[in-house]
Structure 1
Amino acid sequence: MDRLTIRPVTEPLQGRVSPPGSKSITNRALLLAGLARGTSLLTGALKSDDTRYMAQALRAMGVTVDEPDATTFVVTGTGELKAPAEPLFLGNAGTATRFLTAAVALGRGRYVVAGDQHMRKRPILPLVEALQSLGVSVEAPTGCPPVTIDAKGAFSANRVVIDAGLSSQYVSALLMAAACAAEPFEIELAGADIGARGYIDLTLAAMRAFGAEVEQPSPSVWRIRPTGYTATNFHIEPDASAATYLWAAEVLTGGSIDIGTPADAFTQPDAKAYDIIAAFPHMPDVIDGSQMQDAVPTIAVLAAFNETPVRFVGIANLRVKECDRIRAVSTGLNTIRQGLATEEGDDLIIAADPTLAGQTLPAEIDTFADHRIAMSFALAGMKIGGITILDPDCVAKTYPDYWDAMASLGVTYT
């Protein structure tokens, strides 16, 4: 499909929808299983564009990845990632790109980590510079992918300082690689800034499940023992970022949607969005999105129907996601009605107006090929007539069944 127009819902959305497995956890588990010796069983996994790219890359490096059903990977590794015959094409999968760039640095031979036109705009220089400080021959001439790594099987140092202000994924990438180093390894943050720190906790939990030993003597230092990884059986929880659309659809329509997992059972950072969404239509005047970044587009579109305006702060990192999400959200809302959104530096201000519900305001929403923009603006279409989502198939990046899931609850399209 190149477009999808959503019909406003006239009844509260009701039913049960199980969100897909967590993208963030699935790609961590796939890599760790690929680095382990033996066979690992990953259940509850997400099958989407992002995880498919990771699985294909592992296969290209000698790892066996079988898929016996829609939510399971069976991964058999030998403890090394062999140099592939061709560049590793990873689409716009940020987790796969950052994680593999560090992991293959301990391989042997030439590895080229590449992506699509969107990935070629996403920064990776801080990770490249950190690897260079470890004696790795690595180049990214534009500061973004593609990245070329000529690996020699080891780091030349056992300590690295990383600037993680743009993304916590740089730290996660180094953490996961470090357990495969030849000696104990230390990672230190340069400065206090770090994108969504909760994702580091996800990384550490996954590493420990595969046998890694990590201690954290301070909030900015991690020490990793050279244990390597041991194959294991690992269950992946549902995706909290996907759950935010369902939570928002429930409160926006006054419905009752059972997602099968209580909000407090999630370990992912975006689950913090639940309490804010549950406060609708009286959400806070100021929302700090720094520790739930992928939930911000959901909450921002919902905020258009809030009783009072909402300012989003701590969201500068959204400018270097799959697209500039601050600009994409403000553009989309202002396409619906000029003045709904304003950018002040890296803050986003939503001029809430509950009377939007029930109006017909024809608008074509440019998703910028970003799954989260498409799924978030579907919420606007549930209450405003004439909302058309361009490139709706981009949801395949993390939630291929999104439109069918919403239809099962009562949403209809033209």
Structure 2
Amino acid sequence: MTEPLPWLAPHRTSPFVGEVLVPGSKSLTNRALILAALGDGPSTLTRPLGSRDTQLMTAALTALGATVERDGMTWTVSPIARGGSEPVTVDCGLAGTVMRFVPLLAALGSAPVTFDGDEHARRRPMATTIASLRSLGVEVDDDGRDALPFTVMADGGVRGGEISIDASSSSQFVSALLLIAPLLPLGIDLRHTGAVLPSLPHIEMTVAELRRRGVRVETPEPGRWVVHPGPIDALDVEIEPDLSNAGVFIAGALVTGGSVRVRSWPEHTDQAGDAWSRIVPAFGGTVERDGDDLVFSAGGTLDGIDLDLHDVGELTPVVAAMAALAGGPSHLRGVAHLRGHETDRLAALVAEIRRLGGDADETDDGLVIRPRPLHGATFRTYDDHRMAHAAVVLGLRVPDLLVENVVTTIKTYPNFAPVWERLMTSG
């Protein structure tokens, strides 16, 4: 297949001032889809995200026996029909929530389910998913790879109980077990045994969504979750806007000295992207609530920062792009786990910032970025949507910056490129 031509990122010489309403949260959409598929009746999702990741999730759940009926911005999900015994194959693409959540759902069935994905997906850490399945007594055929592809040999006999895992490379390993726990006869008493957990807000989101559906979840101590067995109530939900995806527009406003109104920003949320309200002031900007919206504005200068992004690692690529344009050096900490994301994001960010003439180095757990004059070049995305977001932010200040495969943004934001181009070339 022919690779698309690199895309010329919009460049601005004036401040960007505008407003955006970003599509629904991918993290919330995929959790809501799974819990609806495991629920005790049909559930309706309003304003879910329609992107590659959520399409992969709906296809996976449909393969396992759920039904998803779409009517514009409303999706109705009927639970998985039990009793199927035919082998099926699930395409994970490059979606972490599919490759790590759905194998645990497959373990509840009674048929072999094979999982595979994109080329990059075969390099993502999966050992903990496979170990979790085996700890539950499920046979997994992976030819010793601890990676995709593999087959879950479900026999309907999973009971649950006490289980310990090392989820230090991804919080998704914890969420995967929590999501199926209510349907296990013994529930789950789960302990994390490794280093400090990354992306804790995503686990808190999973717990909150379970509790909204009547599931009893206890957190008796840090790194331990006790989920009691019982039904998962059907629930009609409206999906919040994806605050992580809002970050690229917030960064666009700050690096150009402008401002952006992000519509319908929740007052209370478990999304990692809510951290933008703390990151922007660190760069010297301001954040104000105006009714249902948040308004992010640049300060007099774009300051260098020293931030621990351990809990919100997915924001790192866009933060790094801002740091490369700041007036002083920046240190991003606590994100060693990004080496196992869609690509090794730390190595990729260093390589691409340097490709533009910048000065960046990896540390044990993050990045050091020292601003230097940048020049145009082709910015590689490594099929990673967050790398593409970093690229377009840099392009606002760096003329002649070409983005390789900007279409990879469909993973979580359909039509991102034309939306960005329209906003950034107006005014």
Determine helix, strand or coil for the equivalent of 1:191: coil
Aligned to 1:190: 193
Q: How many residues align?
A: 405
TM-score by length of 2: 0.90
Residues 160-309 of structure 1 aligned to structure 2 (within 5 Å): 160-262=163-265, 264-280=267-283, 281-283=301-303, 285-309=305-329
Is 129-138 or 195-204 further displaced after alignment?
129-138
Select the residue among 335, 354, 359 that pairs with 1:334. 354
Determine helix, strand or coil for the equivalent of 1:302: helix
Conserved 8 A contact 1:111-1:150: yes
Aligned to 1:130: 132
Query: 2:411 aligned with 1:397, yes or no?
Result: yes
Q: Which runs of 5+ in 2 are unaligned?
A: 284-300
Conserved 8 A contact 1:14-1:410: no
Is 253-262 or 114-123 further displaced after alignment?
253-262
Query: 2:398 aligned with 1:379, yes or no?
Result: no
Q: Give the share of equivalent positions with the same residue, in percent.
A: 33
Is 397-406 or 174-183 further displaced after alignment?
397-406
Is 151-160 or 307-316 further displaced after alignment?
151-160
The separation in 2 between residues aligned to 1:262 and 1:89, in whole angstroms, is 33
Task: Give the letter for the 2:226 counterpart.
Answer: R
Aligned to 2:119: 117
Query: 2:367 aligned with 1:348, yes or no?
Result: yes
The separation in 1 between residues aligned to 2:251 and 2:194, in whole angstroms, is 35
Determine helix, strand or coil for the equivalent of 2:9: strand
Deviation of 1:346 after TM superposition, in Å, equals 3.7
Conserved 8 A contact 1:15-1:408: no
Alignment deviations for residues 269-321 of structure 1 (CA, whole Å, 9 cap, x no partner): 23213322343345454211111111000000000111110111111111110
Deviation of 1:80 after TM superposition, in Å, equals 4.0
TM-score by length of 1: 0.93
Determine helix, strand or coil for the equivalent of 1:27: helix
Alignment deviations for residues 144-175 of structure 1 (CA, whole Å, 9 cap, x no partner): 11221111213255110011110000000000
Aligned to 2:338: 318
The separation in 1 between residues aligned to 2:21 and 2:63, in whole angstroms, is 32
Structure 1 residues 74 and 341 mapped into 2: Cα distance closer, same or farther (>3 Å)? same
Determine helix, strand or coil for the equivalent of 2:193: strand
Deviation of 1:192 after TM superposition, in Å, equals 4.5
Query: 2:72 aligned with 1:64, yes or no?
Result: no
Conserved 8 A contact 1:17-1:405: no
The separation in 2 between residues aligned to 1:406 and 1:33, in whole angstroms, is 33
Alignment deviations for residues 88-121 of structure 1 (CA, whole Å, 9 cap, x no partner): 1110111111001111112111111221111111
Deviation of 1:390 after TM superposition, in Å, equals 0.6
Select the residue among 75, 82, 89 that pairs with 2:77. 75
Conserved 8 A contact 2:33-2:58: yes
Conserved 8 A contact 1:112-1:147: yes
Conserved 8 A contact 1:240-1:268: yes
Q: Which runs of 5+ in 1 are unaligned?
A: none
Structure 1 residues 316 and 392 mapped into 2: Cα distance closer, same or farther (>3 Å)? same
The separation in 2 between residues aligned to 1:122 and 1:41, in whole angstroms, is 32
Alignment deviations for residues 360-410 of structure 1 (CA, whole Å, 9 cap, x no partner): x22101100111101111011111111000111000000112222223323
The separation in 1 between residues aligned to 2:85 and 2:60, in whole angstroms, is 11
Structure 1 residues 198 and 345 mapped into 2: Cα distance closer, same or farther (>3 Å)? same
Conserved 8 A contact 2:305-2:323: no
Deviation of 1:63 after TM superposition, in Å, equals 0.9
Select the residue among 388, 392, 396 that pairs with 2:402. 388
Structure 1 residues 19 and 240 mapped into 2: Cα distance closer, same or farther (>3 Å)? same
Conserved 8 A contact 2:57-2:98: yes
Structure 1 residues 344 and 116 mapped into 2: Cα distance closer, same or farther (>3 Å)? same
Query: 2:146 aligned with 1:143, yes or no?
Result: yes
Query: 2:112 aligned with 1:92, yes or no?
Result: no
Conserved 8 A contact 1:277-1:299: no
Conserved 8 A contact 2:323-2:330: yes
Task: Give the letter for the 1:367 counterpart.
Answer: T
Conserved 8 A contact 1:92-1:115: yes
Select the residue among 108, 111, 121 that pairs with 2:110. 108
Task: Give the letter for the 2:246 counterpart.
Answer: A
Conserved 8 A contact 2:36-2:234: yes
